[in-house]
Structure 1
Amino acid sequence: MTTATIFITLIALMMIRTPIAVALGLASIAGLALSGISFEIVAQRMFSTNNSFPLLAIPFFILAGEIMSTGGMSRRLVDFAGSLVGHFRGGLGAVAILGSSFFAALSGSNAATVAAIGSVMNGPMAEKGYDPQYTAATIAAAGVTGMIIPPSILLILYGVVTGVSIADLFLAGILPGVLICVSMLFLNWFLSAREKVEKAEFQGAGEIVRTFKAAFWPLLMPVIILSGIYGGIFTPTEAAVVAVLYGLIVGWAYGELSLNSLYKAFFKAVISSAIVMFIMNAAGVFAWLITINQIPQSISAYLAATAGNQIFYILFVNVFLLLVGCMMNAAAAIVIFTSILYPAAMSFGIDPIVFGVIMAVNLSIGTVTPPLGVDLFIASAITKVSVERIVVSIWPYILVLIIDLLLISYCPPLSTFLVNVFK
């Protein structure tokens, strides 16, 4: 009875578009009332959820991304990407995709990536005659790498929930992120044949060198972060603080970080962090409630018995999480469903690092999938193209992302190669 009430309440609230944190909270309260558990446990579980040192990395990486965006670094990254791929067919679309991958390595957030790169690329693509619908779809899809390339916030959450090394997860996300970036570049090249726009001329190696020098310090940040973590110099949380300090220094050196822009960066970071933590708190209470009711254990045992083998279990997880990603915030989903899916994955001998990347890729695809795809709404706000029109153009990208997902799922070395190299 309690189990049914919890999930019926949650689904009903989500169907009427209640914010996910509120829906999780109300469903948890309904479950607590039926279980006869004191509501005081809500505050205790919220505190317990937040009482994690690695979790501190999230607000600092969010702040680092905002500072990098405000400090003019997104423009430099886009210019460098333009010197590399801007002369190919569909050049500006390719610049948006490659620039998003560069920026993802600074922010760890899909929303920040779409907002930063979309704001830079929308105007130039419109001036060159790109279809606004195609522009919006490309900008939205390119943001997917923000949840996979380190410092991915989703991988941090997965590491906190499971205890898997966040440093290993960061390394594991690099090659899958590169795969997704390259596959979208090829798709953009293919789709852009119908875009009646002129190709830019190749400016030569000199332009590549010039833009690389201009973007050198932003590009150096992920190298410092990953080498510092794997070199034992600092933890992922300390790395997030280093990223903030680094962004402040570079922004000041470029002369593009005023007190007003810094205030805006901190303000946006506080809002974004508060949203993530609010969702985390509500999801933490919900996850605890379903755990004490033995729901994850029962589901995990059932899945282990019915899936039969690793191949079918991974296929089930992919289908399930793709559906979840369409309807639920990725941060909430990673907290809730990791506890349900992780035990069965371990029983099938799936590498926990690979499983974390699989979950992150699945849920990142959800950010560009209706009806809840947050990247669609951000791209819509930037380009002034309706979400419905963006959805029509984004399906080719979604299909390519699903192919990438299958490659990542059934080719574990894509995730484990760099981890093994640096061990």
Structure 2
Amino acid sequence: MFTTIAIIILLVLIVLEIPIGFALIIASSIGLWLSPAGLMNAPIKLLDSTSNFVILALPLFILMGALITEAGIARRLIDLAQSLVGWMRGGLAHVNVVTNMFVAEISGSPTADAAMLGKIFVPEMAENGYPKEFAAAVTSAAAVIGGIIPPSISFIIYGAVTNTSVRDLFIAGIIPGILLGFLFMVVSYLYAVRKGFTSTQPFSVNLLLRATRDALIPLLIPILVVGGLIYGVFTPTEAAGVGVVIALGYGLATRLLTRQAFYRSLVISTHQSAAIMVIIAGAALFGQLLALEQVPQHISAFLANMGASQIEMLLLVNIVLLFVGLFLEPASAILIVVPLLYPIVIQYGIDPVHFGVMTVVNLAIGQQTPPTAPVLLTVCAGSNLRIGPVLTYMKYYLVAMVIALMLITFVPELSLWLV
């Protein structure tokens, strides 16, 4: 009863466009206030939820990405991608995808990648004859790879919620991220063949070597950090801290990180971290209300009585996550929905790491689909485009994402092989 009241209030607040973190705190507080438990333990829950040592990695990874980005290394990564795939038919579209894969190693945030690269690629592709809407669709689709290839903010949150190894989640995201990039390049190639687009430039070994040299250190920073985490040298939080120190040292040594850029990176990372922390605190309070009325146990019992097979359960979980992704951004969705679904998938023998990758890919699709579509709207807003015409091209990339999701769901080795 109290959970139902809280959910109704939450939906009303979301419709009123109250930020999701504050909406969760308000709705959960009212639900607890009406319940026998009261609000006595609510402040403790809010504080404890953000005191997790793993959660500390979030602001540090965000700061690392901001420092590297503000040092102005995007053009070096674009030049490297150009030398690698610019010779292919539809070269600029492929360069867009590969650059997003490189940047994914740095930011861990699809929205940040879309905001940064959308300003570069959409006008550049339009100048080279590509429809501006197609350029926006490619940029938006490729940006979601930033939430899958490590370091990924979504994986850190999932790991904290389910007590799953962040190291294993990072490793598990590598092949799915590359698979998504490959499928996006296939879609871009087919479009280029259909419309008669040619390559950007011929392949040149000298150009590739020069571009690799210029982009080597920016690429090595996240590789060293994530590699140290994978091989057990660092914990996730220590890895993030080392990444911040290396990124700051690189920016200062090359004089690419000015005083103004350093200040901007602090402001950006503070704003992003604070927004996520409020969501985490609100979701923890909401989780306390759900636990009070044993909602996860009731859902588990209901699904168990259905007698669904593992395949049917996987399909049902995907449908639920896809639906939730239409309305909530990944951090909120993971914090609210995963605690409900996690006991069920474990009961069905689904690996927690595999489920984590499924969850993040599902929610990545939601970032491209209305009514919220945060990544797509970010690119459209930065390019002064309406979302409707962009969706006419985005639908092909959405098909590619669904194909990748089905492969990831029913071929667990794609996620678990490296782990």
Q: Could you state the TM-score of these two structures normalised by the residue count of structure 1?
A: 0.95
Indicate the SS of the match to 2:151. Answer: coil
Paired letter, 1:111 = T
What does 1:341-356 correspond to in 2, within 5 Å?
341-356=341-356
SS in 2 for 1:107: coil
| Native 8 Å contact 1:77 1:215 kept in 2 | yes
Kindly state the Cα deviation for residue 30 of structure 1 after the two structures are TM-superposed.
Answer: 2.5
Amino acid at match of 2:356: G
Aligned counterpart, 1:98? 98
1:80 is aligned to 80
Q: Which residue of 2 aligns with 1:366?
A: 366
Give 3-state SS (helix, strand or coil) of 1:201's partner.
coil
In structure 1, the partner of 2:200 is: 200
Partner of 1:124: 124
| 1:306 corresponds to | 306
- 1:310 and 1:63 map into 2 onto residues whose CA distance is 40
The reply on whether 1:388 has 2:392 as its aligned counterpart is no
Secondary structure at the aligned position of 2:105 is classed as: helix
Cα RMSD for the two superposed structures: 1.6
Give distance in 2, aligned partners of 1:22 and 1:404. Answer: 34
Give the distance between the partners of 1:390 and 1:41, measured in 2 at CA: 47
Greater alpha carbon shift after TM alignment, 300-309 vs 89-98 = 300-309
| TM-score computed with the length of structure 2 as normaliser | 0.96
SS in 1 for 2:256: coil
Q: Cα offset for 1:11?
A: 2.3
Q: Cα–Cα, structure 1 residues 183 and 338, in superposed 2: closer, same or farther, change >3 Å?
A: same
**Kindly tell me: are residues 200 and 342 of structure 1, through their superposed partners in 2, closer, same or farther at Cα, counting changes over 3 Å?**
same
Aligned twin of 2:265: 265
The Cα of 1:39 is off from its aligned counterpart by 2.8
CA shift at 1:230, angstroms? 2.8
Q: Which residue of 2 aligns with 1:18?
A: 18
1:194 deviates by: 5.0
User: CA contact under 8 A between 1:122 and 1:382: conserved in structure 2?
Assistant: no
Cα distance in 1, alignment partners of residues 195 and 41 from structure 2: 57
Deviation, 1:40, is 4.1
Which sits farther off after the overlay, 201-210 or 33-42? 33-42
Q: Distance in 2 between matches of 1:104 and 1:30?
A: 39
Give yes or no for contact 2:105–2:223 (8 Å, CA) kept in 1: no
Identity over aligned pairs, percent: 38
Return the alpha-carbon distance in structure 2 between the equivalents of residues 256 and 382 of structure 1: 25
Distance 1:225 1:119 in 2: 28
Distance 1:149 1:198 in 2: 29
2:229 corresponds to which residue?
Answer: 229
Task: Look up the match of 2:7.
Answer: 7
The alpha carbon displacement at 1:123 in A equals 3.0
Report the Cα offset of residue 270 of structure 1.
Answer: 0.7
Partners of 2:322 and 2:44 in 1: how far apart? 32
Q: After alignment, is 405-414 or 9-18 more displaced?
A: 9-18
In 2, Cα distance between equivalents of 1:124 and 1:251: 27
Residue 322 of structure 2 is matched in structure 1 by: 322
Q: Residue 131 of structure 1 contacts residue 195 of structure 1 at CA under 8 Å; is this kept in 2?
A: no
Residue 81 of structure 2 contacts residue 95 of structure 2 at CA under 8 Å; is this kept in 1? yes
State how far apart, in whole Å, the 1-side matches of 2:190 and 2:198 are: 15
Which whole-Å CA distance do the structure 2 matches of 1:389 and 1:348 have between them?
A: 42
CA contact (8 A) 1:129 1:196 kept: no
How big is the shift at 1:279?
1.1
Structure 2, unpaired ranges of 5+: none
Aligned length: 419
